[in-house]
Structure formats: C-alpha cells, structure tokens
Amino acid sequence: MKVGIIRCQQTEDMCPGATDFSMAKQGNGAFAETGAADIVGFVSCGGCPGKKALTRAKMMTDRGAEVIFLASCIGKGTPIGFPCPHFAMMKEAIMKALGQDSKLIDWTH
C-alpha cells in the first residue's frame, strides 16, 4: 500500500526518520494496519503551528498515497517526550482537507 508520512519539523535535527522507514518496510508498528508500505512522501509539517501539513497531506494523496501517517514525533513526542501542542487540531484539519473517505493514522511506532 502507498503511504505518505508527515513528521514534526522541530525534530528533524535529532531524528532522520530511520525507524519510520524500517517499520513501513516491515509492516510493523502502526504499519501493521497497511502491511509493508511503499512511501511516496516523507515530509515535515512545515513548522509550527503545522498549517502546511494540510496541503502537504493533499500533495501526497495526489501522488498516490492511500493512507497518511502522522509520525510519532507529532502525537507521542518521540524521541524527546515532547508531543506537538497542535496535534489534535492538525489531525482534524487534515481529515477535513482530505475528506471523510481518507485514512489518517496518527502514529508510526
């Protein structure tokens, strides 16, 4: 299945996303729902407060992503235990932008 992943821009300096790529390849963690995944895009939210996540999610669905994932740096705050304060709003706004039939999974590992 083709997926797109959105990550927290604030954690780019401390995490290259290696675990997300590994989990997606193996179909582990949150990717157990999709099976081994083909990543069509791995982008950041665009920086606080994350408004660019909407258009970036759309950009990836336009390129074939069937499911959008919010990496665990956003909702769980990995790797430093600092979740995004805009998580709930970002999630809701992306769902609204993509439409009811779209699938959003709000963690990766």
Does residue 57 bind ligand SF4 (CB under 6 A)?
no
Backbone angles phi, psi at 33, to 5 degrees: -75, -25
Q: Residue 6 forms beta bridges with which residues?
A: 43, 70
Indicate the length of the chain as a whole number: 109
CB of 45 to ligand SF4, least distance (A): 3
Least separation in angstroms between CB 4 and ligand SF4: 15
**Torsion, CA 19, CA 25, CA 28, CA 32, rounded to 10:** 130
Range in contact with ligand SF4 (rule: CB under 6 A) among 2-10, 16-24, 28-36, 100-108: 2-10
Among 3, 4, 5, 8, binds ligand SF4 (CB under 6 A): 8
Helix, strand or coil, per DSSP, at residue 88: helix
Contact by Cβ (8 Å): 6, 43: yes
4, 29, 41, 50: which one binds ligand SF4 (CB under 6 A): 50
Question: Applying CB under 6 A, which residues contact ligand SF4?
Answer: 8-10, 45, 47-50, 74, 84, 86
